């Protein structure tokens, strides 16, 4: 992983931090809030899955509840990755486990990939380029296998450290154990979760970075009136803001998500 100085450069983006009002920048209070939010939202996801596998509720709960939890969890984890490296989060966060894939990456690796995406967005060195370029159908298909492709690419290019091997083994064992508890119910959960991952990854990468064959960071395409308002009710204002203001996020990634709309700089 990059050292402290290069990480700061990656997180800043094209606009230096000193050019942004301090009130808009993430601080340690934000990081502590996101640490708590990620734990709570992950535990809620586990509780929903366990309740369904135990027969307390039906599998119908997954398409109703999992998208609402996943979007909020993804935003909180994203904000945390821009604020703290793996050494400054708990083992719970480093595992980054929501049973999305039996062999995948953790917080440390996902953070490095995301920061590299910010530094080299839409260039040949962008690790997310595989789900940005090409047709919408191709990018959509790649978004659905992004967890496995990210793990394979990381292992091939970066190797497998002892920490990654140890944490990956824990994730794999937990995945198999939970899946074996109630395979049919788990399959319903897994399909729902992977649909959430695929759609959100497609939006954040292809929709935000590819427009009519041109690659870059673009504004959110025009949507029917009221769609964003509905999305804010369902998923919260911060996830919607980081999508609608995604270009500003890439201009200066150090700005907290909820304040992106207030940024009026270049």
Q: What is the pLDDT of residue 11?
A: 47
Q: Tell me, what's the pLDDT at 225? A: 84
HEC-encoded secondary structure of the chain:
CCCHHHHHHHHHCCCCHHHCCHHHECCHHHHHHHHHHHHHHHHHHHHHHHHHHCCCCCCCHHHHHHHHHHHHHHHHHHHHHCCCCHHHCCHHHHHCCCCCCCCCCCHHHHHHHHHHHHHCCCCCCCCCHHHCCCCHHHHHHHHHCHHHHHHHHHHHHHCCCHHHHHHHHHHHHHHHHHHHHCHHHHHHHHHHHHHHHHHHHHHHHHHHHEECCEECCCCCCCCCCCHHHHHHHHHCHHHHHHHHCHHHHHHCCCECHHHHHHCCCC
Contact in structure between 58 and 107 (CB atoms under 8 Å): no
Give the chain's end-to-end CA distance (angstroms, integer): 29
As a whole-number percent, the residues of the chain with pLDDT over 90 amount to 88
For 232-252, the pLDDT digits (tens) are 999 999 999 999 999 999 999
Tens digit of each residue's pLDDT (9 = 90 or more) over 131-164: 999 999 999 999 999 999 999 999 999 999 999 9
pLDDT tens per residue across span 69-98: 999 999 999 999 999 999 999 999 999 999
**pTM score, whole prediction:** 0.92
What average pLDDT does the segment 226-230 reach?
93
Q: Is the pLDDT of residue 38 over 80?
A: yes
Are the beta carbons of 166 and 243 closer than 8 angstroms?
no
Q: Would you say residue 2 has pLDDT above 80?
A: no
Distance CA 110, CA 222 (A): 30
CA dist., res. 116 & res. 122, Å (int): 11
Q: pLDDT digits over 182-219, tens only?
A: 999 999 999 999 999 999 999 999 999 999 889 999 98
For residue 4, pLDDT over 70 is answered with no
The size of the chain, in residues, is 266
């Amino acid at each position: 992983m990059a050292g402290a100085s290069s990480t700061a450069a990656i997180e800043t983006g094209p606009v230096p931090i000193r050019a942004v009002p301090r009130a808009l920048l993430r601080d340690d209070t934000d990081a502590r809030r996101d640490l708590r939010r990620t734990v709570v939202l992950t535990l809620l996801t586990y509780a929903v899955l366990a309740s369904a596998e135990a027969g307390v509720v039906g599998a119908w709960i997954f398409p109703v509840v999992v998208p609402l939890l996943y979007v909020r969890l993804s935003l909180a984890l994203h904000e945390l990755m821009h604020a703290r490296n793996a050494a400054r989060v708990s083992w719970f966060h480093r595992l980054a486990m929501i049973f999305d894939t039996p062999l995948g990456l953790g917080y440390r690796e996902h953070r490095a990939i995301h920061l590299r995406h910010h530094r080299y967005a839409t260039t040949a060195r962008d690790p997310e380029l595989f789900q940005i370029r090409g047709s919408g159908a191709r990018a959509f298909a790649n978004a659905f296998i992004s967890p496995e492709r990210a793990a394979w690419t990381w292992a091939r290019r970066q190797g497998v450290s002892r920490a990654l091997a140890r944490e990956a083994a824990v994730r794999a064992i937990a995945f198999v154990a939970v899946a074996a508890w109630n395979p049919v119910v788990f399959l319903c959960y897994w399909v729902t979760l992977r649909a959430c991952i695929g759609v959100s990854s497609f939006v954040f990468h292809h929709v935000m970075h590819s427009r009519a064959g041109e690659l870059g960071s673009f504004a959110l395409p025009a949507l029917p009136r009221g769609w964003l308002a509905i999305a804010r009710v369902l998923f919260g204002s911060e996830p919607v803001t980081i999508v609608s203001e995604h270009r500003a996020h890439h201009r200066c990634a150090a700005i907290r998500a909820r304040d992106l709309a207030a940024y009026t700089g270049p």
